[in-house]
Chains A and B, each alone.
Chain A
């Protein structure tokens, strides 16, 4: 046991040097996954629409994200005269920070023995898993809100306002959808939730919660069909209209990392994390591969939905969030609570 005790209660923690190595490794993995998702999305969207997608840079266009990032980073840092400079620079940082912070709690595997030391294959196993997620989700809203507002452009502002309303509306449903799982698993730790799914993955008993969480997840990440914050037909580019170069790249990175985070949370909470069906128990090093495979399935669903569904109208978005999703999520939580109490 290390002398450094974490501030919050966590399920399991390692010596400080392992934690530093882990954080670097997980950040590096996240950093590598984002360009993969980027190119996968563009290639898949192309195929969904009967075209190739990027295929010029590198073999099969695989180096396209690299070219994109290089292009964005070498561009001029432009700032409108009407913008609020400090916040304009800060906002993309908030977005990227919250995305990376949320990525830290996704468990890629159970505690393993690596060179005689016990290491948990996750950033940190906080005992308040979903709450931590929603806390950073709520802070992520400042990234969009401040970015849009500090741009000093009406399109950015409108996009940011929509984003704010949307995030607030759907975060409630998303939270309530997880309540059912938390009641069933009787723990808030994400690794605990995964181990509680040994018998059955939660997307079967919690099917309603699973669907609600998915829909709310689309809305939370501002992805189609809920991408009203960047409805290009109406708002030019939404909250990131005035951003260019590295700052725009930050927003872009955060968006795709958020997709990965939601995929990871769905995998962990509903799809059994690193567990495999039919009682297969592979060695520990397979766990991260299983999690990544499940995550890529959910990410594929994200891209698939984006290729299919048209954008919702703003009033449809609001009435769906408050009149359909929220009552359903509440009902789901209530029914789950009653059933759990009745069974015990």
Chain B
């Protein structure tokens, strides 16, 4: 190892010291510090603060835990919560609202909706429009629950429901078909009341 000479000899330091310090002017804030406590006072302070902490934790013992016991108790969702999708029918005629226009599939950023349209015939009328969705699948393992499909739909045929318990054992089971989306969902999720 070469002996490196001191890069800042004393004569270069001296001019730097002569530079007058920057004056903060009017912006000076006087900081007052408490005098450093002596041994006895600091010991007392430590003891007092420890006791305060102990009292704080002890007070928690008398309180109810704030835990939500999840599978039994559920946190209610807000009305606009975006959960699993629902497909809708007209209540009076029972026809599907979806006309198979594929706008939802086009709007989907995750590309998880697959729509195959087919023509309605007089003896097989499925939807109110000219065409209907012969295949309507949502791959919920890809869905990001953004709600764009709901916004894109011109007939309010697809909406986001409140169901969020969607885990399953295989990926295939997470591809929801038209029948599953049309079926009346099990309302497993409590809805939040107005004042909650």
Query: A residues bordering B, Cβ < 8 Å?
Result: 44, 46-52, 304-305, 307-309
Contact = CB atoms under 8 A, between A and B. Distances in A.
Contact of B61 (A48, A51, A52, A309): A48
Contact of B53 (A44, A47, A50, A308): A308
A48 B65 CA distance: 9
Interface in B24-64: 50, 53-54, 56-58, 60-61, 63
B63 A308 contact: no
Interface residues of B, number: 13
Q: Which 9 A-B pairs have the closest CB atoms?
A: A308-B57, A51-B67, A51-B65, A308-B53, A48-B57, A52-B65, A307-B57, A50-B66, A308-B54
Nearest to B59: A48
A46 B65 CA distance: 8
B186 to A, nearest CB: 25
Given A48-B57, A50-B67, 7 more contacts: A44-B61, A48-B61, A50-B66, A51-B65, A51-B66, A304-B54, A304-B57
26 contacts: A44-B61, A46-B65, A47-B60, A47-B65, A48-B57, A48-B58, A48-B61, A49-B60, A50-B60, A50-B65, A50-B66, A51-B65, A51-B66, A51-B67, A52-B67, A52-B69, A304-B54, A304-B57, A304-B58, A308-B50, A308-B53, A308-B54, A308-B56, A308-B57, A309-B50, A309-B53
Contacts of B65: 46-47, 50-52
A52 B61 CA distance: 11
Interface of B: 50, 53-54, 56-58, 60-61, 63, 65-67, 69
A322 to B, nearest CB: 15
A305 B67 contact: no
A50 B63 contact: yes
Q: Which of A49, A307, A308 has the most CB of B within 10 A?
A: A308
A48 B60 contact: yes
A50 B64 CA distance: 7
Q: Which of A44, A50, A304 has the most CB of B within 10 A?
A: A50
A46 B67 CA distance: 10
Nearest to B67: A51
A212 to B, nearest CB: 13
Contacts of B54: 304-305, 308
A234 B67 CA distance: 29
Contacts of A309: 50, 53
Nearest to B69: A52
Contacts of A48: 57-58, 60-61
B97 to A, nearest CB: 44
A308 B66 CA distance: 19
A332 to B, nearest CB: 15
A315 B175 CA distance: 58
A49 B65 CA distance: 8
Nearest to B60: A48
A47 B56 CA distance: 12
Contacts of A307: 57
A18 B53 CA distance: 48
Contacts of A51: 65-67
B134 to A, nearest CB: 47
A256 to B, nearest CB: 21
Contacts of B66: 50-51
A44 B60 CA distance: 10
A99 B58 CA distance: 29
A28 to B, nearest CB: 31
Contacts of A44: 61
Nearest to A56: B69
Nearest to B39: A324
Nearest to A324: B43
